[in-house]
Amino acid sequence: MLNLLRWLVFVVAVLAMNFPVIVTVITSFKSARELSFNPGFWIGEPTLENYTRVLGETDRFNIYGYLFNSTVASLIGTGLAIALAFPAAYAIARSEAGKRTLLPLIINLRAVPLIIFAIPLYMMYQWLGLLDTQLGLGLILTIVNTPLALVILVNAISDVPSELDEAAKMDGASSWQVMLMIIRPVVRPALVTTFIFGFITAWNEFLFGLMLTTSRAVPMTVGASFFFAASGGGVQWGTASAVMALGALPPALLGLLMYRQISASLTAGAVKG
């Protein structure tokens, strides 16, 4: 009996929390005609026409551009964050450097509202010619990703027994070699998790995409909002839904595939310190 109640609570919670996604996916399979009289949960005649329009009419919808921009910027933002955080995490885990001040400072960065840096960054980007470029967006996403990448990697490297390092050093390896050839393969799962989680975070970022891009480098989150603002004759709900579903799909898929690892990294900074 109690178990039945648990299932009920579970189902209600899942439906309520995923409600907007469910509605969007349903709507994306309705024809424009059906949408005009049926906003309900059932689909009379499921159709792919919204997807074929969004993906096919490239002169009207710049969906490939948005997807491409999001992918490139997210890859830069995640790859660079790991490239910067990995050596730093190694130093923090294996030496006294950075442990006392740098690590807490960067962890706290996670909680600082990044909008406070946004205005000077906008001006800086103007001077550097980085406005509306994928590189510029990627560099900011690096900052967004750095705190969590550092926490996850410091934890992972600290868990590796230091006897491994010592043995390699005895054999004459430099600490640089130890880091790349001994530690890196051992913490590979943590690196993969960091990458996936960073990619999701970067993909979902909105504020900097909104501020720092206008046309050439617009990411998916911002591009999707154009479908609501642009057309004067009201929103085309079918195509808008298809766009939202496509934009939410990559992070959702990654998340579903990796939910075990991600749940650990989501809580990394919070529970472990």
Q: Does 44 bind another protein (CB under 8 A)?
A: no
Q: Does 181 bind another protein (CB under 8 A)?
A: no
Give whichever of 113 and 185 is closer to another protein, judged by the CB atom. 113
Q: Does 64 bind another protein (CB under 8 A)?
A: no
Q: Does 170 bind another protein (CB under 8 A)?
A: no
Q: At its nearest, how many Å lie between another protein and the CB of residue 9?
A: 6
Give whichever of 70 and 190 is closer to another protein, judged by the CB atom. 70
> Which strand (E) or helix (H) includes residue 71?
helix 63-94
Give whichever of 59 and 229 is closer to another protein, judged by the CB atom. 229
* DSSP symbol at 27: H
Among the residue ranges 43-51, 56-64, 71-79, 241-249, the one whose residues contact another protein (CB under 8 A): 241-249
- Cα(135)–Cα(201) distance, rounded to whole angstroms? 17
Q: What is the CA radius of gyration of the chain?
A: 23
Alpha-carbon distance values, 198 to 5, 21, 49, 88, 122 (Å): 37, 22, 33, 17, 23
Residue type present at position 253 = L
**Structural tokens at position 49:** 């026409």
Q: At its nearest, how many Å lie between another protein and the CB of residue 167?
A: 11
Binding to another protein (CB under 8 A) within 96-115 occurs at 96-98, 102, 104, 106, 108-109, 111-113, 115
Alpha-carbon distance values, 145 to 4, 87, 255, 262 (Å): 41, 15, 16, 14
Give whichever of 10 and 64 is closer to another protein, judged by the CB atom. 10
Among the residue ranges 10-18, 49-57, 60-68, 71-79, the one whose residues contact another protein (CB under 8 A): 10-18
Measuring CA to CA, which residue among 105, 90, 84 is closest to residue 153?
90
Q: Does 162 bind another protein (CB under 8 A)?
A: yes
Give whichever of 1 and 59 is closer to another protein, judged by the CB atom. 1
Give whichever of 155 and 241 is closer to another protein, judged by the CB atom. 241
Non-local (6+) Cβ contacts of 46 within 8 A are 29, 30
Which DSSP string do the residues of 203-238 spell out, in sequence order? HH--HHHHHH-SSTT--HHHHHHHHHHS-TT---HH
Q: Does 68 bind another protein (CB under 8 A)?
A: no
Q: Does 74 bind another protein (CB under 8 A)?
A: no
Among 141, 200, 212, 218, binds another protein (CB under 8 A): 200
Q: Does 119 bind another protein (CB under 8 A)?
A: yes
Burial profile 101-138: b = 16 or more Cβ within 10 angstroms, e = fewer: eebeebbeeeeeeeeeeeeebeeebeeeebbbbbebbb
Q: Does 254 bind another protein (CB under 8 A)?
A: yes
